[in-house]
Amino acid sequence: MKPALVLAFAAALAVVPLAALAQDTTAAQVPASKTYSFGDDASPWINDPAIHAFYQATVDAFAHGPGQVDRTAYEQRSRQIFHAFAMAHGMSPEAVENHVKAIPGEMILIVTRDPQTLASYDNFVVALFGPQKSGPGPGP
């Protein structure tokens, strides 16, 4: 389950060429496409306020236990967060929302199976992005 979520999130946020997400796609304003590799530093995404907001929204959704999650409200809040994320990064909100639409449902499954996912932001990051490279040496 986690590898699928990691791949979905990475694809949603970075594999899609910026040209596809840019609001104005004129040639002079579209930066070169960048693809995301798991060897790349994920810290800009991990440190982004939107990902912290998504963590908090997930914590809030599970505040009364996995059986009490209001999936509709959680998905709506997640869309709002991803919309704001897209706007902050000059991306098309509709394109970003479309690419990450399955992630809230995946998080519900992951947290239901492993409540420790929400015990810390670090645990959440591992569930969302996979283990992060730390220290010297070759990347994952």
Residues 6+ apart with CB under 8 A from 41: 133
Q: Quick one: CA dihedral 87, 92, 97, 100, positive or negative?
A: negative
Q: pTM of this prediction?
A: 0.70
pLDDT value at position 2? Answer: 52
pLDDT (tens digit per residue) in 81-91 = 999 999 998 99
CB atoms near residue 17 (< 10 Å): 14
DSSP collapsed to 3 states, 79-132: HHHHHHHHHHCCECHHHHHHHHCCHHHHHHHHHHHCHHHHCCHHHHHHHHHCCC
CB 27 within 8 Å of CB 122:
no
* Phi, psi of 75, deg, nearest 5: -65, -40
pLDDT value at position 42? Answer: 77
Q: Where do the domains of the chain lie? A: 2-15+45-129
